[in-house]
Amino acid sequence: MTRKRLHSVAVWGFFAWEIAVMMSLVASKEPDSPRGRTVPMTSSPSDFLDKLMGRTSGYDARIRPNFKGPPVNVSCNIFINSFGSIAETTMDYRVNIFLRQQWNDPRLAYSEYPDDSLDLDPSMLDSIWKPDLFFANEKGAHFHEVTTDNKLLRIFKNGNVLYSIRLTLTLSCPMDLKNFPMDVQTCIMQLESFGYTMNDLIFEWQERGPVQVAEGLTLPQFILKDESDLRYCTKHYNTGKEKHHHHPILSVTGAATSKKQL
């Protein structure tokens, strides 16, 4: 009797185990079962950035986009946040601006990450190529770092790059004081490439709102005229063996009328 019971229990146990295995196999093949689906795992943001511009990516920040190919077009926009005084004695003026530059770097185009754009920490600026823009008539300048670096870096899926930075500049402004104090002064802001020629880099003003001024902006001794002259030009430099390098230049000119005329 005992043997029959043991045999019956053993057979029932084997039968139950076989049913459990079959149910498990069926469940694993069921496409609508949450446990049966394989969800692709996306890489972490850190892994993605390392793959895009890290040491193993092959990206070299020392080399411009389209190397040995067409020049890089850099679109520029300036937002004038505030003006300091226009100084007749030193013939300069002080201005606080947001400088925005946009260009395309095909090496930074991506499709593996779901977001259309990525806002990156300013420390990542050292990992990518940037235009070598400088202000040709600058007498003094400084960045802003309170409470953190006033810089923005945004990369888009198609490889477009937006680089925005806040600057305070002291710019030279040669003045004609023959009519002082009934004078009208015209000042320029000149942006150039320090080392690249027109074969490598081209600066251009942004089509919409290339130069913007903060609403209600005033000067203590002058009235700013609501007009500006935007220009594209080149400059010739002799850098050694090869002469007559054409460097890209952008300039914006504005005028101010002395309040003493009023």
Task: State which amino acid sits at residue 64.
Answer: R
What is the pLDDT confidence band of residue 232, given thresholds at 50, 70 and 90? confident
Compute the distance between CA of residue 137 and CA of residue 92 in angstroms, rounded to an integer.
9
pLDDT at 67: 96
102: its two tokens: 């946009």
**Nearest in space to 161 (alpha carbons), one of 207, 113, 108:** 108
pLDDT at 169: 97
132 falls within a domain: yes
234 falls within a domain: yes
What are 25-45's pLDDT values in tens digits? 333 443 443 333 333 445 688
Unique residue bearing structure tokens 């005028």: 255
Do residues 247 and 197 make contact, with C-beta atoms less than 8 angstroms apart? yes
Task: Check whether 61 has a pLDDT greater than 60.
Answer: yes
Compute the distance between CA of residue 134 and CA of residue 20 in angstroms, rounded to an integer.
74
Backbone angles phi, psi at 229, to 5 degrees: -115, 115
61 falls within a domain: no
Task: Check whether 157 has a pLDDT greater than 50.
Answer: yes
The mean pLDDT value of the chain amounts to 79
Residues 99-115: what's their mean pLDDT?
95
Do residues 96 and 170 make contact, with C-beta atoms less than 8 angstroms apart? no
Angle at 225 between CA 223 and CA 226, to 5 degrees: 130
Highest mean pLDDT among 14-23, 54-63, 129-138, 179-188: 129-138
The full 3-state SS of 140-190, as one line of letters, equals EEEECCCCCCCEEEEEECCCEEEEEEEEEEEEECCCCCCCCCCCEEEEEEE
169 falls within a domain: yes
C-alpha of 20 from chain center = 59
14 falls within a domain: no
pLDDT at 56: 81
Angle at 253 between CA 250 and CA 257, to 5 degrees: 170
38 falls within a domain: no
Of 6-10, 76-80, 142-146, the one with minimum mean pLDDT is 6-10
Do residues 234 and 193 make contact, with C-beta atoms less than 8 angstroms apart? no
What is the pLDDT confidence band of residue 229, given thresholds at 50, 70 and 90? confident
Task: Check whether 182 has a pLDDT greater than 50.
Answer: yes
11 falls within a domain: no
Does the model's pTM come out above 0.85?
no
- What is the share, in percent, of the chain residues with pLDDT greater than 90? 49
Task: Check whether 261 has a pLDDT greater than 70.
Answer: no
Of 48-57, 101-110, 149-158, the one with minimum mean pLDDT is 48-57
Task: State which amino acid sits at residue 85.
Answer: S
Query: Which residues are 169's β-sheet partners?
Result: 95, 141
118 Cβ neighbours under 8 A, 6+ residues apart? 154, 155
Highest mean pLDDT among 82-91, 96-105, 211-220: 96-105
Q: How many domains does the chain have?
A: 1
| CATH code where residue 187 lies | 2.70.170.10
What is the pLDDT confidence band of residue 12, given thresholds at 50, 70 and 90? very low
137 falls within a domain: yes
What is the pLDDT confidence band of residue 205, given thresholds at 50, 70 and 90? very high
Q: Between 70 and 227, whose confidence is greater?
A: 70
Task: Check whether 96 has a pLDDT greater than 90.
Answer: yes
Domain hosting residue 183, numbered range: 71-261
Do residues 246 and 175 make contact, with C-beta atoms less than 8 angstroms apart? no
pLDDT at 63: 97
Unique residue bearing structure tokens 């926009």: 77
Q: CA distances (Å), 28 to each of 17, 139, 204, in order?
A: 17, 72, 59
What is the pLDDT confidence band of residue 240, given thresholds at 50, 70 and 90? low
